[in-house]
Structure 1
Amino acid sequence: MKETVLDVLMYLFESFVDSDDEPEPDRNELREELERAGFRDREIDRALDWLDGLNASEMLSTVAGPRSTTVRIFDRFEQERLDSSCRGYLLHLEQVGILTPTQRELVIDRLLALDDTDIDIEQVKWVIMMLLFSQPGQEQAYARMADLVFADDPGWLH
């Protein structure tokens, strides 16, 4: 079975989003849970590193200023990794107020950190969900995003 980093992250997200346990299990608990679930060490390490990057980037999101009226220009590397539909979707979510410009940048950073050459809209949606879920005070944005994600697949979460 070939799992990707996003598969591991989605498993964790599914496991802990509705959990009443402590909000942030430690790295060892996460590793043990993922090993029990059958994920390989390499993907576990990469997923935990990805989460560390998300946690490190949370500090940046707390200093987000007012909404910007500037236009985001994607560099060549970003354009190669994120097709026009992904880029357009990110910009749309910013325009409708689900993402701030800082959060958009964090999402782009975390998408590129997946090291996946074929990033699609579904991956973008799940990275946004994980980012918003991890940030205090983003409950409304998370709920709006969840409505968009689960409208396409209502039976996914229980």
Structure 2
Amino acid sequence: MFDVLVYLYETYWRPDACPDPAQLQRKLTAMGFERDDIQDALTWLDGLAASAQAVQSQSRASSVRVYTDDELDHLGEASIGFIRFLATAGVLPPPMREVVIDRAMAVGGSPMALEDLKIIVLMVFWSLGEEPDALILDELFVDPEDRLIH
């Protein structure tokens, strides 16, 4: 599913640039993606669209987030730490953070791989028509081992 999401991000500059679901499914199939991955991604994107629409009317005031036991188990330490990092850096306001958590909880597997969470964060920005700044893109795309220290 995450390969499909990355393809959509790289191919379409915003969600409304995507073709209708039936045409998109045909295109993704022609690109060689598995049917189950395509269906999972499209279902996940429907949930993202609903969450993103709800966020656009919410305030960006600060808040404290207390994670449920299910969220702690599902997200894992690395993902929660990354979410906190983004929130503390001021690039992931509370409403967007909630969308990230909601969409992460909609994906199977525990604990969530940090690389998968980074794709989710990227897709949340994409769905809201916002582009993360260069430093955040660096965090989302570059492995820490590959960074050059000057």
Q: Name the TM-score class by shorter chain.
A: 0.7 to 0.9
- The unaligned stretches of length 5 or more in structure 2 are none
Residues 1:7 and 1:117: Cα distance change in structure 2 (over 3 Å): farther
- 1:95 matched to 2:91: no
Matched, 1:108 2:101: yes
Query: Matched residues, percent identical?
Result: 33
* Alignment partner of 1:56 is 2:50: yes
Taking structure 2 as the reference length, the TM-score comes to: 0.83
* Counterpart among 103, 115, 123 of residue 130 in structure 1: 123
Cα pair 2:76 2:110 within 8 Å, conserved = no
* 1:8 and 2:4 aligned: yes
Structure 2 residue 21 is the aligned partner of structure 1 residue 27: yes
Q: Shift in Å at residue 151 of structure 1? A: 3.6
Deviation of the 1:134 alpha carbon: 1.6
Give 1:120 deviation, angstroms. 1.6
Q: What's 1:145 paired with?
A: 136
Q: Deviations over 1:100-146 (max 9, x none)?
A: 1011010011111122334121111111111101213x23x354431
User: Structure 1: which amino acid aligns with 2:38?
Assistant: I
- Aligned-CA RMSD value: 2.2
Unaligned runs of 5+ in 1: none
Spell out, residue by residue over 1:73-110, the C-alpha distance to the aligned partner (whole angstroms, 9 max, x if none): 11111111111121111011011111110110100111
Q: Which has the higher contact order (CA 8 A, sep 6+)?
A: 2
| Stretch moving more, 109-118 or 125-134 | 109-118
State whether residues 111 and 124 of structure 1, in contact with CA within 8 Å, keep that contact through their aligned partners in structure 2.
yes
Shift of 1:16: 2.4
